[in-house]
Homo-oligomer: A and B are copies of this chain.
Amino acid sequence: MVKIAVDGMGGDFAPHEIVEGIKLAVNDFKDLSILLVGRSEELKRELQGFSKNIEIVNADEVITMNDKPREALLRKKNSSMHKAVELVKDRIADGFVTAGNTGAYMAISLFTLGRLKDVNRPGIGVVIPFKDNNFGVIIDVGASVDITPRDYLILAILGRTFLYTITKNKNLTIGLLNIGEEEEKGTKITKEAYKILKENLKEFKGNVEPHEILYHKVDVIVTDGFTGNILEKSYEGALEFTVDVLKEEINKSLVYKIGAALLKPALKNAFNKLNYENFGGSPLLGVDGISVKAHGRSKRNAIRNAIKVAYELANNNLIENFKQELEKITQ
């Protein structure tokens, strides 16, 4: 059995959609069992008698979206998020999933699980869909800003190993997020990162620009947490804005509404393809344990998918793979 601890109280639609997502997951994966963490009375009500492979672990406190990471870390030790991460730390659970407060998630995961040897700055990896229906990973999208050139190398290894763990593809390529193709482009730090990546990784293919990412120029895109977060929120913002503007235009005439009705399945497919949140979860990579963050707005399917990510990473020995790959580079 693979045991995944799930924070039952985190996210905009907790606990209802979390519990529904868990039900989907345990039905889909035979050897999955869930430790559902949170206010037990509330969670029991949500389960409505459903109990297949689900065990409730009580936690009285709840971290809200407004809690500051530092305060959540230090003051809410009895929160569902804390308890769920501790189950991973104590090797009771094989992985952990939450849709709660991102800052608190990073702080609590990092502090509770600790860093892997040789990892100075962990990174959040976000899975992105490519035009050709493959997918890749961008790391880091927000955990670590102001990193050193060597941190880029470690992030590259974490990202590649993560992607290998879920795809089994041994020929993954790596690119450095930058503002031009040439080696001399970018900031002082990205120029140094370029050198260190080139020297150490034969699968490094040079710089990649934001508009090239989705066309699958490389599989793993390495960047610092500041730039990666700007990139992620820009994609997200452009997509949201496009949908908004389209809706507004469509509402201007009946003919448009009819056109949109005919086109609805195609529009839905397209925007589903564009929405990388469908992948379900973004792990914090570089900590000593499997820790997956689902988007705060996750409903049941996204939660089910985030659990699937944690389940697959646990099943395929992510942490062992990390240790092996990191050892190679630091010998």
Contacts and interface: CB of A to CB of B under 8 A. Distances in A.
B234 A231 contact: yes
- A interface, over-half SS: helix
Interface string A228-254: 011101111111111011101110110
Query: Size band of the A side of the interface?
Result: 35 or more
A235 to B, nearest CB: 5
A242 to B, nearest CB: 5
Contacts of A177: 230
B186 A209 contact: no
A223 to B, nearest CB: 9
Contact of A234 (B238, B242, B245, B262): B238
A246 to B, nearest CB: 5
Contacts of A233: 179, 209-211
A273 interface: yes
Contact of A231 (B230, B240, B265): B230
Nearest to A213: B237
Contacts of A60: none
Contacts of A262: 255-256, 258-259, 262
Contact of A241 (B229, B237, B274): B274
Interface string A216-227: 000000000111
A187 B230 contact: no
The 6 closest A-B pairs by CB, nearest first: A259-B262, A211-B237, A259-B263, A234-B234, A238-B238, A249-B266
Interface of A: 131, 142, 145-146, 177, 179, 186-188, 190, 209-215, 225-227, 229-231, 233-242, 244-246, 248-250, 252-253, 255-256, 258-267, 269-270, 273-274
Given A227-B227, A234-B235, A259-B262, 16 more contacts: A146-B187, A177-B230, A190-B226, A211-B240, A212-B237, A234-B234, A234-B238, A239-B242, A245-B273, A246-B266, A246-B270, A250-B266, A256-B265, A256-B266, A258-B262, A260-B263
